[in-house]
Structure 1
Amino acid sequence: MRRAGRRCGTVRGPLAAWHRAPERGGSLKEATSHASEATLSRLPQVPSAKEMDETVSEFFRRTILKIPLTEMMTILKTWNFLSENQLQTVNFRQRKESLVQDLVLLCEENHASLNDAALLDIIYTQFHRHQKVWDVFQMSKGPGEDTDLFDMEQFKSSFKKILKRALKNVTVSFRDAEENAVWIRIAWGTQYRKPNQYKPAYVVYYSQTPYAFTSSSQLKSNLPLLGQALTIASKHHQIVKMDLRSRYLDSLKAIVFKQYNQTFETHNSTTPLQERSLELDINMDSRIIHENKTEKERVQRVTQEIFGDYPQPRLEFAQYKLETKFKSDLNGGILAEREEPLRCLVKFSSPHLLEALKSLAPAGIADAPLSPLLTCIPNKGMNYFKIRDK
């Protein structure tokens, strides 16, 4: 009896092309081609360089689109990425969409990178810094620690490494500015998501000072990491957030550096008070009695002693949280038995709060001097106050 031969198993996968080739009468070369195509189709798809370029191009398009036409040339020249000859080829009087498209094409010709786009975004933010709300952080050294020599390049490298080690998906860009300051742009991502380039955080750090200014970010969870990077890179021991906030970065800087009596000086700030009082007397209504004139001079003198003889730093508000327990000489009552303190929130708002406060007494709206809670804002470096019972 003839022994039956063993049946071959079915060939599956890419090698099936080799198995089927003789049946179709195809050549070995065709079988190899089919096998290669089948194998490649199973490999994970990697984004092409073109797709990555399209992502950067879209970032450029959005960044350029938000630049006002009146500032376009100034910002592009400050950026200094496109040459003068390239800028001369662009028609800046055409529709903005067409203008943006032409500029994006020039950026692509120059092989612009993501970092180049980030630098352009930093420059735009520097021109429009008042569109963001800025917080102030103060750092300090440990007991007995000496001031070390500061190296800006070392600071940048250390800051970036700390963020990269803690968070894989994050992009950090730097731009040096005036007064030994550096602007830092941080696009946060997560362990599973790429950095969001359209919601970055900004940090302005002045070298060899304990102060850093940060734009308010929606990602509050990243604040501890940001504080750690600032503290270690600047060689400090700890960092705290100050009760000071404003849209006007220059005013915040003037307050914490105690420069508001210099930075905001005007051409007539050195005029003696006596001379200005004399001018006031000349223009004063002759029917005003002597007592009123004396009172006005007193108010003017007290106001100058408190606020100084210079324009004030610009803040938009001051907020006071009051917590106090009810006190009464009479026994009993619902409020007297209340254990929780009474809470109240008072907020003063103005386009230029300190100048508004400065004008209250001279205008006769408030008595002079004003409450120290209102006049201490620049000296204390605070516009958030918590008032409790002693």
Structure 2
Amino acid sequence: MIYAMDIISLLRRVLGRFRKDDFVNILQEWKFIDIDDVDVNLKKSAKIDIVYNICEKCRNKSIKVDDVAQLDLIYNQKHSNSKKWTVYKLSRAQDVTYDQVTVEPATFQDKLQQHLSLYFRHDLHTRTKDDELWLRICLHDGSAAQFMPSNVVYMVLHLRSSYIISSNIKVTHKDYILQALLTSLEYTEVKELKLSGKNLSSLTDMVLFQQSQGAFSQYRYNQADQNPLTSGRKVKRKAESPPDVTDKRVFNENNAEKRARLSKTEETFGNNPQPVLEKLTYQLETRFHGDQHMPRIADNTAIIHCTVRFEGKNVLEGIKQLGPSGLANLPLPSHLANAHSFARNSIVLAEKSQHRSTPKKD
């Protein structure tokens, strides 16, 4: 049983995460209390006074855990970058055929509630946003611990696809939660993809539009003058002009080379921002190819293992800038030029029969 004081404490904790400037829009979206019911000025009052006043109004309206859970979902929808997300792919066995499953949120919630109850005491709440169904699964490990962040799992189900993106799940809970999802959605298998990060929208973009990244993104965003599948004259884009400088005596001696690098980079990556990935790892499994620079080693067939890790705010954008900055020769090798289309954080580069390193499929 959850007491009123515990609910208000939880509400105060959730409200405390929002910025002061968010309260007007949050209250309008939440709809549990009206803005006019708040006795303090939402723009001029201190945040602590605003939170206290909202809590008192909610106490008078006998707020329930369900209402606080909806507010928590609103927060995580607006601040999804505060968590690390992992992508899962749902599939069915080849010998199993179903009609196209339409996910109706209320029916799905009832099914998932039933299947989860076989494993845990829990609270389940959902909230729709565009073509996404957000899940908040709060597992009860005890009356005092049930609202600990580690006991709450957030998931985003894309209604028109077979992908689910989830926040961190405890190892002890993971198999049970995924099995409940499979049964509720009538799938037979779930696979954790090698794709994770904090930018939820980028992860979604990479898995839902894997074949239309880079230069092909212009067709998805209706930026192209012509469809690539139709015949006709290609429209050339005007090359980027060099930046203006204050001192006219200063000029770039390599203007032609710079324009060529920009043109090659745009052909590969397009002119749209790259999806945000904070980490990208290459695992090399290749033979030694440096015999021309040093004596031949005895066993030239031995596989050398090496790991190269890129980390930063956006490693894909960083790879894109290698060419224009002059830090890499163009064209880039395929495992770099197509990194935005692989939809994964970890890529294995293995030997081909022609002794060329190429990405190896999972």
1:367 paired residue number: 329
Q: Per the alignment, do residues 298 and 94 of structure 1 end up closer, same or farther by CA in structure 2, a change over 3 Å counting? A: closer
Asked which structure has the greater RCO (Cα within 8 Å, sep 6+), the reply is 2
Gap change, CA 1:298 and 1:278, over 3 Å in 2: closer
Matches within 5 A, 1:8-23: none
Q: Give the Cα–Cα distance (whole angstroms) in 1 for the partners of residues 220 and 325 of structure 2.
A: 23
Q: Which has the larger radius of gyration?
A: 1
One-letter amino acid matched to 1:235: E
The amino acid of 1:91's aligned partner reads N
1:164 aligns with 2:164: no
SS across alignment from 2:239? helix
The Cα of 1:281 is off from its aligned counterpart by 11
Which of residues 161, 164, 169 is equivalent to 1:209? 161
Shift of 1:107: 0.9
Aligned to 1:90: 40
Please give the alpha-carbon distance, in whole angstroms, between the structure 2 residues aligned to 1:95 and 1:173.
31
Q: CA deviation at 1:343?
A: 4.2
Cα 1:52–1:288 change in 2 (3 A) is: closer
Change (3 A) 1:94 1:282: closer
Whole-angstrom CA distance in 1 between matches of 2:306 and 2:177: 33
Question: For the Cα contact (< 8 Å) 2:40–2:49, is it kept in 1?
Answer: no
| In 2: Cα distance, 1:107 partner to 1:257 partner | 40
Answering whether residue 299 of structure 2 is matched by residue 346 of structure 1, we say no
Native 8 Å contact 1:59 1:197 kept in 2: no
1:195-222 deviation line (CA, Å, top 9, x unaligned): 23433211000113110111123x1221
Distance in structure 1 (CA, Å) of the matches to 2:6 and 2:132 = 30
Q: Secondary structure at the match of 1:78?
A: helix
Q: 1:264 to 1:109 in 2, by over 3 A?
A: farther
1:67 aligns with 2:29: no
Contact 1:79 1:119 (C-alpha < 8 Å) held by counterparts: yes
Deviation at 1:106, TM superposition (A): 0.9
1:49-68 equivalences in 2 (<5 Å): 52-68=3-19
What TM-score, normalized by structure 2, do the two folds share? 0.79
Matched, 1:382 2:344: yes
Cα drift, residue 133 of structure 1: 1.1
Q: Residue by residue, what CA displacement relative to the aligned partner does 1:112-158 show, whole Å, maximum 9, x if unpaired?
A: 11111111011111111111111111111221513334133222211
Q: Distance in 1 between matches of 2:143 and 2:285?
A: 44
Q: Does 1:110 align with 2:33?
A: no
Q: 1:99 aligns with which of 39, 43, 50?
A: 50
Deviations 1:278-316 (A, max 9, x none): 745999999767xx5554444333222211232221222
The one-letter code matched in structure 2 to 1:59 is L
Deviations 1:59-112 (A, max 9, x none): 01111112111112211221111024313x233333333322211111111111
Contact 2:265 2:320 in 1 (8 A): yes
Query: What one-letter code is carried by the residue in structure 2 that aligns with 1:204?
Result: V
- Would you say 1:229 and 2:194 are equivalent positions? no
- Aligned residue type for 1:243: K
- Aligned AA for 2:114? K
Residue identity opposite 2:344 in structure 1: M
Report the AA paired with residue 361 of structure 1.
G
The 3 A distance-change label for structure 1 pair 130 and 287 is closer
The 2-side partners of 1:257 and 1:285 are apart by 50
Judge which range, 130-139 or 321-330, deviates more: 321-330
Q: Does 1:146 align with 2:108?
A: no
Structure 1: distance between partners of 2:195 and 2:249? 43
Q: 1:262 to 1:212 in 2, by over 3 A?
A: farther
Consecutive unaligned residues of structure 1, counting only runs of 5 or more, are: 1-46
Q: For residues 115 and 106 of structure 1, do their structure 2 counterparts lie closer, same or farther at Cα, with a shift above 3 Å needed?
A: same
Match of 1:155 in 2: 108
Q: Report what 1:24 is aligned to.
A: none
Unpaired runs of at least 5, structure 2? 227-233, 353-362
Q: CA RMSD in A?
A: 3.4
1:175, CA displacement in angstroms?
Answer: 0.7
Structure 1 residue 239, shift from structure 2 partner: 0.8
**Does structure 1 residue 299 correspond to structure 2 residue 252?**
no
Distance in structure 2 (CA, Å) of the matches to 1:285 and 1:373? 41
Aligned to 1:314: 276
Q: Letter of the aligned partner of 2:32 in structure 1?
A: F
DSSP-derived class of the 1:303 partner: helix
Whole-angstrom CA distance in 1 between matches of 2:180 and 2:157: 12
